[in-house]
Amino acid sequence: MKILNKIRNSVSKRLNPQNTRYYGLNALDQKLEPYLDFDNGSFVELGANDGVTQSNTYYFEKERGWQGVLIEPAPHNFLKCFSLRGSRSKVFCNACVEFGFPDRLIEMVYANLMSVSVGQELDLADRSEHLKNAQLHMKETEVSFSFGAVARPLNEILIEAEAPSRVNLLSLDVEGAELNVLKGIDHDRFRFDFMLIECRDLDRLQGFLGTVGYKLETALNQQDYLFRNNR
């Protein structure tokens, strides 16, 4: 009976897509689905926030049975994320950095979905302007503040999480620190079928990803790009 219900639900979603709830900003998860249209997949999401708001992976976990790794540096959002998604996926409270990052902690400025790091070179034209714009999108009950996040290369977290060596999706939205994160992965040990990356300097990102075996698949909007494993 459970199997029949799963089949009915799956068929219903395909026949009635208007009844399916997506969560990603600008329907990014809905745009991803044609590339990842299967159940029981795996993901890694950085910039996980509370695990639901503007999440690119919550739909896949909730509706398609996926599991994965969620990483969020702000402690209060980490706790929300753990509460909402920790029963199925592994949740970490860290900021991901490149291999060889010298410090245990990295300074972060909280700005909800637009929080940024201070101790890294970022792909942002103007950090101060970015934070000023972030204020416009924060709730009246929120304030911006600085805090120290525990810095770890993503590779270290993947090993601790016992992630598979082949992951179906990496979702990377870290407000300009994308290259720093990518430089903290052993790309021979861990591969991703697809990488969804928010970036502001596509040439620079493509240049690096080309050296580790990924090619641009498509642009899902003006700042979010999908890369495919080319090995």
Is the pLDDT at 52 greater than 80? The verdict is yes
Is the pLDDT at 184 greater than 90? The verdict is yes
Would residue 80 be called left, alpha or beta, if left means φ above 0 and alpha means ψ between -120 and 50 degrees? Answer: alpha
pLDDT (0 to 100) of residue 122: 63
Q: Which residue range is the domain that position 208 belongs to? A: 22-229
Is the pLDDT at 94 greater than 80? The verdict is yes
62-76 pLDDT tens trace: 999 999 999 999 999
Q: What is the DSSP string of 52-96?
A: STB-SSHHHHHHH--EEEEE--SHHHHHHHHHHHTTTSEEE--EE
CATH code: domain of residue 135:
3.40.50.150
CA distance 108 to 70: 18
The count of domains in the chain is 1
CA distance 192 to 230: 10
Is the pLDDT at 59 greater than 90? The verdict is yes
pLDDT (0 to 100) of residue 67: 98
- Residue 6 in domain: no
119-132 pLDDT tens trace: 666 655 555 554 54
CA distance 60 to 33: 8
Q: Which two tokens stand for residue 155?
A: 């590779």
